[in-house]
Structure 1
Amino acid sequence: MTLTLKTLVAAGTVALSTSLISAPVAAQETLFTIPVTKEFSIRNGRWTNGSGRTFTAWRILNRKGQNYVCGAIASDKHSSMTRHSRAILRKGYVKVEGKKIMRGLAFFTVAEPGTDIMDAKATCKPFSAQVPAGAKYRLGYDPVRVRG
């Protein structure tokens, strides 16, 4: 059986109100986690076969002049998303003004099935693209097909 993801984050956008300064990303990226809070954009999606909902929480964070994409996903029950989450996240991207500034979201935290997204920890990864102040970010996915 082939499953496709209807909408996991159809048009999730986040505006960052602080002025963003491009800082060079260190050769070895340092990932860290933070709690998911109300400052995150939270979206949900369903598989076409109806096997559970999956929630995505993400945000842009500026820490000491460095920009980060932070994110986590959680399914409301054991679903196909749980089994295929990394494959799906690898197809994820973040866009600013129509340009992809980050490809591959496999660094996002994948919470245990049944975890409330607000109880999850999000993993943050730096990016070095220059982004204008007040820009709108969009998270999306290239087409994904997985076998159940």
Structure 2
Amino acid sequence: MQQQRKKNGWYHVRGFRGKKSRITEGLRSMEKWGFGLTRKEILEILCEYIIANGIKTPFKDNRLEEDWLLNFKNWHHLSIKKPQGIEYTRKKKTDPFVVNEYFYLLHKTLIKNHLTTPEQIWNLDEMSFQHDPSKTRVVEAKGKLSSRTTAGIR
């Protein structure tokens, strides 16, 4: 495959034509649900995609570089931010559709497995969730709050 070079030195990778908006939508969806990706994670995923699909790039070992991601980020109205703590994220991002679906599946599972008495049901401990994901930065849509769901040690 051939690449086009723009005047500012930015390469278009032809294998991504028509897929950039899907990549952007995927990044935004991941962030929306608390799984925002770092720059390194995005570049790694795109490298795997390039290799799996046999796409040729002008980059060494077909690995996209930071400046490629910076241009991609600017063109698709993304920004890099520190994510907010998980407790705030849970409060802001509670979706009634997701909550209702969870309770529907829980009810269905309890009935299916004959778990109808309280002593058969156990509570889960959430203390192992890391509450401070501020040590990393994630790529996110401009003008939006960012979050990243993490797990850590107590």
When normalised by structure 1's length, the TM-score is 0.26
Q: Which has the larger radius of gyration?
A: 2
Report which of the two has the higher share of strand.
1
When normalised by structure 2's length, the TM-score is 0.25
Report which of the two has the higher share of helix.
2
